[in-house]
Amino acid sequence: MFDSGLGGLTVVRALREALPNEDVVYLGDTARVPYGTKGAATVVRYAIGCTKYLVDRGVKAVVIACNTVSAVAPERLRIEFDLPVLGVIDPGARAAVAASVTGRIGVLATTGTVASGAYARAVQQYSTRAEVFSQAAPLLVPLAEEGWTEGEVPNLIIDRYLLPLREANVDALVLGCTHYPLLRPAIELRARALLGQSVNVVDSAQSAAADVADFLRTRQMQNERGDRGTLELLVTDLPATFETIATRFLGERVSGTTQVNL
Ligand code: DGL
């Protein structure tokens, strides 16, 4: 699995709950984070480098934990590499279609993900009736990393991002970025207040984990070993900086992270 940095650990967390026996190699490109503010061509180039590294490590499948990469790179990676490549947008879109009654779906994501139009395209595969309203919410990334996940400051910022979605009358809201699950209680609270009590919040990390589990099971690619799978953490910048914040994202103590060069 790879991500632009440490946010993808929310996907690792969900994946290890869904598939406790799988060995996970996680690569966080902390030297080049953020991807969400960069152009598609740059993100694709970075994604190719990360995938190559993981393929050389002998993995059986690659999971793109990052929404921004999943928005612009999966097709290219499937052409370049001869192994399954799974992203987070398709499962998130499918879950959103299932969660919406009116077919009006809101998406909070990075600027890059919103610019790509990837959620709207993915939703169209599951419902021709559904409409996607995307809102870039870049300030939520540093808030999650700072640990400012509840109270006045995040609530104010979340409200500003939700206002256009209120105008659009959405009844489902996709957390379309690796970092947003940390802010889920605050986003849910404000979404209920602004968009209505019946709004359904969809976490793309959880949908993606369920999708990977399904994929491995149906292809009989799952690890049959009975013991808990290992988790190897690799980063492209200083491990110490990563580990301080990573524990919160992963929900378990992070240590033994290794720095690698791509
Ligand atoms: N991982 C990114 C995403 O899910 C958020 C952080 C970044 O901008 O690199 O879109």
Confidence band, pLDDT 50/70/90 cuts, at residue 77: very high
Question: The tokens of 194 are what?
Answer: 């602004």
Catalytic residues: 66, 177
Whether residue 257 has its Cβ less than 6 Å from ligand 1: no
Query: At residue 128, what is the residue type?
Result: T
The Cα–Cα gap between 112 and 36 comes to 5
> Does residue 86's CB lie within 6 angstroms of at least one atom of ligand 1?
no
Q: Which of 173, 188, 204 is the last residue of a domain?
A: 204
Provide the CATH number for the domain around residue 48: 3.40.50.1860
Q: Is 204 in the pocket of ligand 1 (CB under 6 A)?
A: no
- Answer yes or no: is pLDDT of 241 > 90: no
With a 6 Å cutoff on the Cβ, whether 67 touches ligand 1 is: yes
**Whether the bond into 20 is cis, omega within 30 of 0:** no
Report CA(110)–ligand 1 centroid distance (Å): 7
Pair (10, 93) in one structural domain:
no
Number of domains in the chain: 2
**Ligand 1 centroid from CA 201, angstroms:** 19
Q: Tell me which of 204, 230, 246 is where a domain ends.
A: 204
- Cβ of 30 less than 6 Å from ligand 1: no
Same domain? For 93 and 20 the reply is no
Residues 155 and 99 in one domain: yes
**Shared domain check, 214 and 235:** yes
Shared domain check, 127 and 65 = no
How confident is residue 138, by pLDDT bands cut at 50, 70 and 90?
very high
| Residue spans of beta strands (DSSP E) within the chain | 2-3, 24-28, 62-63, 85-86, 104-109, 131-136, 172-176, 200-203, 231-235, 258-259
CA of 176 to the centre of ligand 1 (A): 9
Q: Are residues 188 and 134 in the same domain?
A: yes
183-228 pLDDT tens trace: 999 999 999 999 999 999 999 899 999 999 999 999 999 998 889 9
Q: Answer whether residue 117 shows pLDDT above 90.
A: yes
Say what the pLDDT of residue 244 is. Answer: 87
What is the C-alpha to C-alpha distance for residues 169 and 164, in angstroms, rounded to an integer?
Answer: 9
Ligand 1: nearest atom to the Cα of 8: 1
What is residue 64's predicted lDDT score, i.e. its pLDDT? Answer: 98
Which strand (E) or helix (H) includes residue 95? helix 89-99
Mind listing the pLDDT tens digit for each residue in 118-127?
A: 999 999 999 9
- CA dist 190 and 184 (Å) reads 10
**Residue 219: CB atoms within 10 Å:** 11
Asked if 205 and 181 touch (Cβ cutoff 8 Å), the reply is: yes
Do 179 and 126 share a structural domain? yes
Give the domain range for residue 240: 2-87+207-259
Domain shared by 130 and 191, yes or no: yes
Q: Are residue 77 and residue 108 in the same domain, yes or no?
A: no
Q: Tell me which amino acid residue 152 is.
A: E
Q: Whose CA is nearest to atom 2 of ligand 1?
A: 66
Q: Which of helix, strand or coil describes residue 53?
A: helix
The residue from 164, 182, 204 where one domain ends is 204
186 in the same domain as 97 = yes
Question: From the CA of 253, how far away is ligand 1's center (Å)?
Answer: 22
Identify the CA nearest to 186 among candidates 151, 142, 139. Answer: 151
Q: Which residue has the tokens 């990676």?
A: 77
Q: Helices (H) and strands (E) in the chain — how many of each? A: 12, 10
Are residues 188 and 105 both part of a single domain?
Answer: yes
Cα–Cα nearest to 256, from 244, 241, 239, 238: 239
Same domain, 93 and 200: yes
Whether 180 lines ligand 1, by a CB cut-off of 6 Å, is no
Distance between Cα 23 and ligand 1 center (Å): 23
